[in-house]
Structure 1
Amino acid sequence: MRVLVLGSGAKDHAIAWWFSQSRLIDGLYVAPGNVGTKTIAVNLAIDPSDPEQVYEACQTYGIDFVFVGTEAPLFTGVIDFLNERGIDTFGAPNRALKLEGDRNFARMFSDRHNIPTSSHVLFDDEEKLSEYLKRHEGERFVVKSNAIAPSRIMVDSSDYSTLMDFSRGLLATGPIILEEHLNGLPITITLFLDNKGYLMLPTSSDYMKVEEGGLPTGGMGSICPVPLQKDLSQALVDSIIEPVLFGLKAEKMAYKGVLTISVIITKNGPILVDYHVRFNDPAAQAFVPLINTDIVDILDAMKHDTLSSLNLEVSNQSAVALVVASEGYPEKPIIGKKLESMPAPLLYNSFEGAPRYFFGGVQEYEGKLVTTGGRCVTVVGVGYNIMNANKNAYKGVKLVNFEGAWYRQDIGNRFFEN
């Protein structure tokens, strides 16, 4: 099998690395890729969101299968375009995209199928929003765009001026969602779906702010797996996973691909926050190194609707993913900074037992590694428990050096500190 992975972030590097471990592929390509994917695959200089360019690349390089794990190509119709032309794909088709692309629809979908979710109100008018906030003075809310947007495009506050100032910018482009603030443990559930069932990957917990209580970001770290009690794990299946899958079938949105569900574990049980019809970053970087099952075997089971009977082989170790970001991220990241040299075996993720390095906003220019975005490198430490994995991640991150580099100092701490 010859595989093309679409994307250029750390998540896409992790997925490509997973494919590179397969015994069942004989060609691996990434479009457009980055400096990390270059070490394990052939990078293609095409626009992954342009269906015609992707299809032409498939013809040129004899691609059998296209894997779309990132959002942009999904929302430009790449999946349907390729399927109509006989190219096998992994990713959500157009009919399922509104689950992520329209938050109000997603909330109503949850309500229709009795899935616990945060209370919310949709606004497209600044005056009505202002009146509502004044009536609920002092209450804490989360403001998000109703349409698909980077997860950092939100604010969580009880201050009227903060909420209004942020909302004005979003309202200029479309409606917003005002949600209640939820206290609890955030977890990320990742499911492979087929027509008859699902396969659940190890559950993670993501850190989505620059610091505790700070600005929201696209994600600064993740731990995997999350230590959950048996009754809580069953509650996730009974109150969220099974009703979601039933709803997808009932509303003719079921598909073969991945579904990621963001949940908050509150004192009243699990509450669904968001749906994503793709992998999440940095959750993917955390769980990929722990999975021993060949990804092609998983995709073959998906093709034949046997996912629910597949035995997923997962390491008994833990992973801590730590994101190294550029100065100024998430508001105005400063790019163009040179990375200091790293030992080649680490750069290529070929040293067994060492942390994994998945590259995002980094490219190679004239033989030098240079930052090109806000989140540059995800360092994943693996160990016999979360504390040990944490130590390995923070030891490994010392080898990622560029001017202005920073990262959170507390990833994983809440799971082993008293």
Structure 2
Amino acid sequence: MKVLVVGQGGREHALVWKLKQSRLVTKVYCAPGNAGTGLDVENIDISAVDAERLVKFAKNEGIALTVIGPEAPLVAGVADAFMKAGLRVFGPTKAAAQLEGSKKFAKEVMRAAQVPTAEFRSFTDPDSAIQFVQEREEIGLVVKADGLAAGKGVTVCSTKAQAIEAIRDAMVKRVFGTAGDTVVIEERMSGPELSVLALVDGRTIVPLESAQDHKAAYDDDQGPNTGGMGAYSPAPIANQELMDEVIDKILIPTVHELRRQGIEYRGVLYAGLMLTSQGPRVLEFNTRLGDPETQPVLMRLKSDLFEVLCAAADGKLRDFQNLDWDPRPSVCVVMASEGYPGNYPKGKPIRGLDRASQLADTKVFHAGTAKHGPNIVTDGGRVLGVTALGDDISDAKRRAYEAVKCIRWEGAWCRKDISDKARAAQLEE
């Protein structure tokens, strides 16, 4: 059977790599893909948000399953177009994708479902938002652009002045474009972060193995927020008791509330959590697999991903309640372009990819790359997700950074402490 993966990042490279391993899959396409996906499968030059051309391609090629990777096409309704055409697609509808596409909508769903999260207010007028901040005590706040902002629309503020500046950036200076038409202001929470991802078919929820992302740009969680500088799986803090609580108090109530509103959720439901002293609280929902969390999670998945995603799309996830996982942990280190998460150059030739690919239990997933003649060059801020399995978390980290050392381009950099949190958590036990 043929599969189409929509998107062009590291998440999509991991998806095509894993789907290609299925005994049932004869061909995998990626639209539009990147240089790395082009090495593993066939790239198709169609934009991820061009629903008409994607549907036409899927019909003409007899695609058995389309997997939509990024949030933008989901929020734009690409999954709806496939469903309308009678094609099997994995990914939530436009209405369901509002959980990620609108932070205000997500918070209102959580409030209605009594899902634990920070108290919030939303504003469409900058003066009202600023007045709200000025009238509050000097406490930590988080200012969020309501719409999609490529992972950069959230500002964590320690002072009123920082919060007011963040409001002006979003609503007056329009730093995030129309995503800043509305802002959500919520109280700042503290505690370790955790990503819990689950497959949902409308009724059945099957959690994936836990992962922990590293959002801050620099070591020791310093610097500005990014789309993610690395991740590891599993997260030692995600014991079974915690996972059961997250499913019972967060995922199930959210899916039920959406159904109450007439929205059936099918796809990945990703809960970004903060483990506070009062228990797990939702920071945000995403409606797709995380990037870079997908890379270390799929490195560990032993079940047939094609079969599992087909079951989710068909409403038959109950047949896949227990997925098979490699017990070994995995670590993904993101290699980024100089200047990221700000402005960065493109077109820098990348060396050493072949050498890194020869290392055992290691896979270099491409995120922001392109092919220029014989060369693979940088084409994004987050360029590569170097991922490795290991006997324990320290071994997985060692293997991942061994591969990182093989790869070079002008201005390349990465965090040096990916997965150290896991090691620290294990030592505390």
- 1:242 pairs, out of 225, 231, 252, with 252
Query: Residues 97, 229 of structure 1: CA spacing in aligned structure 2 closer, same or farther, 3 A cutoff?
Result: closer
- Alignment root-mean-square deviation, CA: 1.7
Q: 2:79: which partner in 1?
A: 79
Alpha carbons 1:100, 1:148 under 8 Å: kept: yes
How far is 1:52 from its partner? Answer: 1.2
**CA–CA distance in structure 2, aligned partners of residues 5 and 387 of structure 1:** 32
Query: Residues 196, 160 of structure 1: CA spacing in aligned structure 2 closer, same or farther, 3 A cutoff?
Result: closer
Alignment-mate amino acid for residue 164 of structure 2: M
**CA–CA distance in structure 1, aligned partners of residues 244 and 121 of structure 2:** 30
Q: 1:265: which partner in 2?
A: 275
Alpha carbons 1:50, 1:76 under 8 Å: kept: no
Instruction: State the identity %.
Output: 30
How far is 1:71 from its partner? Answer: 1.3
**CA–CA distance in structure 2, aligned partners of residues 368 and 231 of structure 1:** 49
Q: 1:223: which partner in 2?
A: 232
**CA–CA distance in structure 2, aligned partners of residues 309 and 63 of structure 1:** 23
**CA–CA distance in structure 2, aligned partners of residues 352 and 224 of structure 1:** 20
How far is 1:362 from its partner? Answer: 0.7
Q: 1:178: which partner in 2?
A: 185
Q: 2:175: which partner in 1?
A: none
Matched, 1:6 2:6: yes
Q: How does 1:7-406 map to 2 (within 5 A)?
A: 7-172=7-172, 173=178, 174-211=181-218, 212-227=221-236, 228-310=238-320, 311-343=322-354, 346-347=356-357, 351=358, 353-406=360-413
Aligned residue for 1:214, secondary structure, equals strand
How far is 1:193 from its partner? Answer: 1.0
How far is 1:148 from its partner? Answer: 2.1
Query: Residues 308, 62 of structure 1: CA spacing in aligned structure 2 closer, same or farther, 3 A cutoff?
Result: closer
Alpha carbons 2:202, 2:255 under 8 Å: kept: no
| TM-score normalised per structure 2 | 0.92
**CA–CA distance in structure 2, aligned partners of residues 309 and 401 of structure 1:** 45
Moved more, 280-289 or 136-145: 136-145
**CA–CA distance in structure 1, aligned partners of residues 161 and 212 of structure 2:** 31
Alpha carbons 1:146, 1:175 under 8 Å: kept: yes
Moved more, 58-67 or 1-10: 58-67
**CA–CA distance in structure 2, aligned partners of residues 229 and 247 of structure 1:** 26
**CA–CA distance in structure 2, aligned partners of residues 308 and 267 of structure 1:** 34
Matched, 1:409 2:419: no
**CA–CA distance in structure 1, aligned partners of residues 133 and 202 of structure 2:** 44
Alignment-mate amino acid for residue 69 of structure 2: G
How far is 1:229 from its partner? Answer: 3.1
Alpha carbons 2:90, 2:312 under 8 Å: kept: no
How far is 1:66 from its partner? Answer: 1.2
Alpha carbons 1:71, 1:278 under 8 Å: kept: yes
**CA–CA distance in structure 2, aligned partners of residues 25 and 7 of structure 1:** 19
| TM-score normalised per structure 1 | 0.95
How many residue pairs were aligned?
Answer: 414
Query: Residues 327, 238 of structure 1: CA spacing in aligned structure 2 closer, same or farther, 3 A cutoff?
Result: same
Moved over 6 A (4+): none
Aligned residue for 1:388, secondary structure, equals helix
Query: Residues 87, 231 of structure 1: CA spacing in aligned structure 2 closer, same or farther, 3 A cutoff?
Result: closer
How far is 1:304 from its partner? Answer: 4.8
Alpha carbons 2:142, 2:185 under 8 Å: kept: yes
**CA–CA distance in structure 1, aligned partners of residues 314 and 147 of structure 2:** 33
**CA–CA distance in structure 1, aligned partners of residues 248 and 82 of structure 2:** 35
Alpha carbons 1:318, 1:384 under 8 Å: kept: yes
How far is 1:303 from its partner? Answer: 4.5
**CA–CA distance in structure 2, aligned partners of residues 135 and 377 of structure 1:** 45
Alignment-mate amino acid for residue 328 of structure 1: G
**CA–CA distance in structure 2, aligned partners of residues 352 and 328 of structure 1:** 29
**CA–CA distance in structure 2, aligned partners of residues 374 and 304 of structure 1:** 36
How far is 1:56 from its partner? Answer: 2.3
**CA–CA distance in structure 1, aligned partners of residues 83 and 248 of structure 2:** 33
Query: Residues 233, 56 of structure 1: CA spacing in aligned structure 2 closer, same or farther, 3 A cutoff?
Result: closer
**CA–CA distance in structure 1, aligned partners of residues 291 and 347 of structure 2:** 22
Query: Residues 51, 229 of structure 1: CA spacing in aligned structure 2 closer, same or farther, 3 A cutoff?
Result: closer
Alpha carbons 1:390, 1:411 under 8 Å: kept: yes
Unmatched runs of 5 consecutive residues or more in structure 1: none
Alpha carbons 1:2, 1:64 under 8 Å: kept: yes
**CA–CA distance in structure 1, aligned partners of residues 166 and 18 of structure 2:** 39
How far is 1:196 from its partner? Answer: 3.2
**CA–CA distance in structure 2, aligned partners of residues 56 and 383 of structure 1:** 42
Aligned residue for 2:306, secondary structure, equals helix
**CA–CA distance in structure 1, aligned partners of residues 248 and 257 of structure 2:** 13
Aligned residue for 2:63, secondary structure, equals coil
Moved more, 367-376 or 134-143: 134-143
Aligned residue for 2:409, secondary structure, equals coil
Aligned residue for 2:405, secondary structure, equals helix
How far is 1:129 from its partner? Answer: 2.2
Alpha carbons 2:130, 2:167 under 8 Å: kept: no
Aligned residue for 2:229, secondary structure, equals strand
**CA–CA distance in structure 2, aligned partners of residues 341 and 399 of structure 1:** 5
Alpha carbons 2:197, 2:209 under 8 Å: kept: yes
**CA–CA distance in structure 2, aligned partners of residues 362 and 370 of structure 1:** 6
